[in-house]
Structure 1
Amino acid sequence: MTIRALLSVLADGKFHSGQELGQHLGISRSAIWKHMRRLEEEGLEIYSVKGRGYRIPGGLDLLNLDLLNKSLSPALRQKLGDIDLQLNAASTNASAMQDCLRGNCHGNLYLAEQQSAGRGRRGRTWVSPFGRNLYFSLVWRFEQGVGALEGLSLVVGLALVQALEEMGLAGAQLKWPNDLLVNGRKLAGILLEINGETSGACQVVIGVGINVAMPYQQGEQIDQPWTDLTTEMRTESLSRNGVLAACLNQLVPLLIQFSEGGFVEFAQHWQEYNAHQGKSITLQVGDNEISGVCQGVDASGALLLDTGQGVQTYHGGEISIQRV
């Protein structure tokens, strides 16, 4: 709690002396210094000026459970279970999966200010600087078994893009099966992990990462074109709590709808955001590359690809654009 209390004071972006911070937290100035070193080691930028104290440039927009709960509709909050907020987690998906192994975690939400081992698809690293973006995982229980989950990642993407549109983001598109793009640059990603039986009830950990205000230095570590909400919406005043609440307000109702009727009800709507409709693409499936023209998705969420030998259906793989 000491670190969180310290960050709450420094969140205003102003200078605070070591003596002031120590008095506020009831600890020594040397303890304050040690906490500052720890925060710097975790990648947080801190200015230290003799005679003035410490400050975090630009301040911090910390996640706040009170603000989040107030921003969620009362009916939706009842659908959620426990909310776990950590300053630093290996990954929110890992935290959620550990709890799922212990029992029913339906509706539990896992949040982190920073991830030390954030993951994307195919084991890629998800760059996760402290307090700048959103990293969260929601556990949802489905009774129909793994076979009924086709199209789930597409529904999650649809919920996110609708939430961000409501906040004023223009031009967001969906890349099959689990990315949000703006002008071809990655804004958000989805990673689903399943705990349960193939034919019985299972719990799905729905992991989401959204770039809100990615620092340029950390962004240089990303191995593909990327963007963030601050850039695309041309504002410095975005609330991460507000973005998270907007996403949950869209996501939970769609998960309930999906659990009742599957993807078929969403197929046409998802297609409206398809980033690659009618484009020549290459689909990487294992060690194989299949080239063709994207024809959208079918009622199960599978990719439809015209390979020149008819339209083929694919349930997995990774899309890249063919370069002329």
Structure 2
Amino acid sequence: MKNPINILLLFVLLAACTSVPAGKGISYSDFPKTVKLEGQVIPLDTAVFRYPFRIRIEGGRAVVLDLHGADHFFQMFTYPDGNYLASYGKRGDSPADMLSAENFRWNGDKLWMLDANKSELTGAVFSESGDSLLREEAVTLDKEILRALDFVQYDDSTFIIPDYSGDNRFCFVNRKGKLLRKFGNIPTAKEEALERSRPALAQAWRSFIDYNPKNGVLATATQLGEVLEIYNLKDSTQVVRIGPHNEPEFKVSQGYGIPMGIMGFSDVQVTDSAIYAVFHGRSFKEIAQNAQQGIQVDGGQYIYVFNLKGEPLRKYVLDHYVYGISVNEQKGIIFATDVNKDEPIVEYQMK
């Protein structure tokens, strides 16, 4: 009885979450409070990272996603000691190996990992000794889902995955990988792109997402431009917040969206009381000029904090350029990954 009722409620809910017309975002120009933070580098035991993209801390374990890991995508350590536990997500072609890794999420004791190249979600649990991960299940995603680049877990039986067809914003997928329904729309003011270039528009609007089941808030932050979308899946409301750099800029070439303008957000987390997002704000022209001068700095120097309705609260200015974050509001700590350093994990005390 549980699953049919949940699905019925889900369909009613999604129908109510599609009412915000394109281009109807609320602008913000600045934050009422700006705070500078100095980070403390966390030493890790015997680890070499190529691109530490994401970090998740749960209990006494920290897991880091190395986007370009040579042999494995995931490295696990004890927290707060930083002692190496195990590697997981071996690169390879065998059924248990991974071809790519886009993101990963904790659900209780289970770690879910997304492989876009295999179109697969894998769930793993720690062994009884607690020093290794064991593959428990794999979910092959429906062929109607176009290259899943992120995911969150809505409940024990449902995932939310961004939709890159351009027709909608999200897909709801069950535990067997079957597409249940799509919902939402791309909140662009560019009506011509909506009519003629939906797939390219969807690529340009690629967003990082997070969901908090306690408050029902699903947040998305655009990789290009400066747009934050907040969907409250409990009260069926939606808010779009647009910053000074506006919506993603792109041009269409052979059906693909070529990025222009700026690098926007690179990670987002919804806590019980706020939304935290890493922001870059550097133009592609500036990035190219820096590269020509031998300046290889990657990441964002800002963490933007919004309330659950998307109203700006504060802007943190960091002493590192970071990509991924893990926020612990109870302890007032933000952990971040710095892809430019050999010791990539930085801890910030919030003020």
Shorter-chain TM range is: under 0.3
Name the larger-Rg structure. Answer: 1
TM-score by length of 1: 0.22
The structure with the greater share of residues assigned to helix is 1
Larger RCO, structure (CA 8 Å, separation 6 or more)? 2
